[in-house]
A and B are shown apart, each in its own frame.
Chain A
Amino acid sequence: MNTPSTTKPPAAAQLSEIDKAMKWPALLFLLSAVVWLLTGTVFALLTAVKSTNPGFLAGCEWLTYGRVQAAYFNCLIYGWGGNASFGVGLWILARLCRKPMPMPGMLLVGGVFWNAAVKIGVAGIIIGDMTSVEWLEMPTYASSLLAFASILLAIWGTLAFRYRQPGPVFVSQLYILGALFWFPWIYVTAQIFLFVDPARGVVQSLTNLWYAHNLLGLWLIPTGLSAAYYLIPKILGRPIHSYYFATLGFWSLALFTGWGGMRHIVGGPAPAWMATVGIVASMAMVLPIVILAVNHHLTIIGRFEKVAASPALRFVVFGTVSFTLAGLIGCVMSLRSVGEVSQFTLMGVGHVHHWIYAFFSMIMFGAIYFMMPRLLNRSWPSGKLIQGHFWCSAIGITVMLVALYAGGWIQGLQMTAIDADGSLVNEDFLQIVRNTLPWLHARTASLLILAIGQLAFTANILWMIFHAVLSWKESLSSAKSSLLPETAAS
């Protein structure tokens, strides 16, 4: 198992110091992330059941479909996604800056504020203060806290990079810095244009599309990519294939993503050029997608026995494959002829889950499996639970994506089909709704599978923490007993 390089003592001692400095902030983010993941899944299950059985818990205004659905996405994106991306991203950043980072307190404050904001925001959605602006549903009293926390964390990240140990820079650092810097910018811009001083008419919707697209493309996706870039060579002990294109991949992703959101307004109340520009930008994403696919997949090729044996790498590789697939599907869905059918259907929900779950979450799971032993200095209690988590996640998300893509495509075809003399093929709208039900049931089933995996994940973490606390208590009492004679003597 050991390779000669890991036994270099100076590097090893230093890394340990870096992890020690990041221990509490990283644990705060990661454990909060897991709690939010589970909360989100509860809301997701409610949403899924309600979408097929509208009478389920319908008497309760707080749990009406629209609110539960918004609560689900906010838990998933800001609760799980935000915490995971800060926990994993900042830890990788600190490691690659190769210096024990000062001011972990700043991170703790940022983390506490972030989580308080999400809690208040989700509660606000449930009690009826939601804004109904996609992915910005949190009421303004929560979003200001969220903005503050994200700015604080971005400042910390910038300072960490500024005072890093001089030397080379790795592409993961670029992705993390980008994510840290872009999130506050898009978030504050969207808040101003939408709520503080609302823009006139459709400009609000353009802002919303720009924000939502960048939230995925310039925040969650970069964090996931940074973790993939870091973990693959680290675990394989092999440099990234064609690494010299990684920078081009990063900058082209940064350049094209911002424009891509406009493809969603195709056919809608906006000048045609906006959708056109969005489509071209979405197609141009082929460049970063191919570069990343080459870098990620070609590094793995020929090392599959390692992937199969490794807890973290399994998840990361699943995530990078999902990145390639989701990216290419995004390109196809952006085309006008495809968008005409797929727009407003379950396919949109499916594509979002492709990014957030099949790509981002899977890589975050892998990163957490890599990080936790190093933060707590102990191994995972059960390899079986890790296996179970992986297979439940992989199967669950595959079932969900197939159901939403296929169901959505069929739904779209039925909604838009027109026969030769210009009349509707499927005149009865309610029949189209009924036809989606089997697919929605499949989604509920897939969520249950995902939930089982998440429970295995949580059980493993709790078990690990339980052991860590036990041994900490032991060492404390043994230290006490070794101290006692001294104090008595003095």
Chain B
Amino acid sequence: MSETNPNDFNQPDELVENSRIPDDDLLEAHTKTFSKSEGNGQGNLVIPILTTAIVTLILVFGGNYIRKYSADFNPWVYDENGTPPNLDPVAEGEVVRSLDGEKLYKRNCVACHQSDGKGLPGAFPPLVGSPWVRGDPERMVAIVLNGLTGRIEVAGNTYNSIMTPFSALLNDEEIAAITTFIRSNPDWGNNADRVSAEQVAATRASYERSEAWKVEEILELFPLE
């Protein structure tokens, strides 16, 4: 490689782009501006004022914007103007209202009683218009909690199968919601009282047992109205 100075091509600028400062001078010239804060003469007052103004603006704007729109860095707020959602319905006593008995029924009951509540002829008894689900709520809650076996007569037909206990699968609020949905479903011709979680809890406490109810036991405790 030749030893010519690449800074000094002596060629037209359009073809090589001659440089006008060697790197040493470039570094020195700029370092000087630090020691004397000289720049190249002009703008020495304008630029610091401008910078200070911008920094102040950023601080004021940023501080206000964050204070206003960060919702206290709450992970549950997605709307910068929003308030945190109520994640504590238990304390507000809203569970029963917000529980959807129909959904719970669909998830837990339709396999036997069917989605129309009419059961399967010869296998599973209907809930539509059934005296067993109306009247004393404790009867129905007790059956849902602990299950039922034996011959049972509903609306003129006899059935003999097993109902599984739900006490371990559903909590008081859920059972309250399901039984309320069944008992007060106008489409099914039922219009009995709502069932509260407290009632379920009370029934659960008074009839703790390991095997399913027999039909006779239920009839003895809670005779059909």
Contact = CB atoms under 8 A, between A and B. Distances in A.
A147 B206 CA distance: 68
Please tell me the size bucket of the interface on A. Answer: 35 or more
Interface stretch (A242-250, A412-420, A428-436): A242-250
* Best-buried of A170, A290, A291, A379 by chain B (most CB within 10 Å): A379
Interface string A167-190: 111110000000000000000000
A170 B26 contact: yes
Contact of A373 (B16, B21, B39, B54): B16
* Best-buried of B2, B19, B31, B79 by chain A (most CB within 10 Å): B19
Interface string A465-489: 0000000000000000000000000
A272 B66 CA distance: 10
A11 interface: yes
Contacts of A243: 30, 33-34, 39
A137 interface: no
Interface string A388-420: 000000000000000000000000000000000
The majority secondary structure among interface residues of chain A is helix
Interface string B1-38: 11111111111111111111111111111110110010
A171 B26 CA distance: 11
Given A15-B6, A312-B17, A377-B4, A239 B27 contact: no
A240 B72 CA distance: 43
Contacts of A291: 51
A233 B30 contact: yes
A245 B73 CA distance: 34
A60 interface: no
Nearest to A11: B22
B1 A20 contact: yes
B21 A276 contact: no
Interface string B35-49: 001011001100100
Contacts of B54: 286-287, 290
Contacts of A383: 12, 14-15
Interface of A: 1-3, 5-9, 11-13, 15-16, 19-20, 23, 95-96, 98, 167-171, 230, 233-245, 248, 269-273, 275-277, 279-280, 283-284, 286-287, 290-291, 294, 298, 309-313, 336, 369-370, 373-374, 377, 379-381, 383, 386
Given A273-B70, A291-B51, 19 more contacts: A6-B8, A15-B5, A16-B4, A170-B27, A233-B26, A233-B29, A234-B21, A234-B26, A235-B17, A237-B21, A239-B40, A245-B51, A272-B70, A275-B80, A284-B58, A286-B58, A294-B50, A310-B13, A373-B16
Interface of B: 1-31, 33-34, 37, 39-40, 43-44, 47, 50-51, 54-55, 57-58, 61-62, 65-66, 69-80, 82
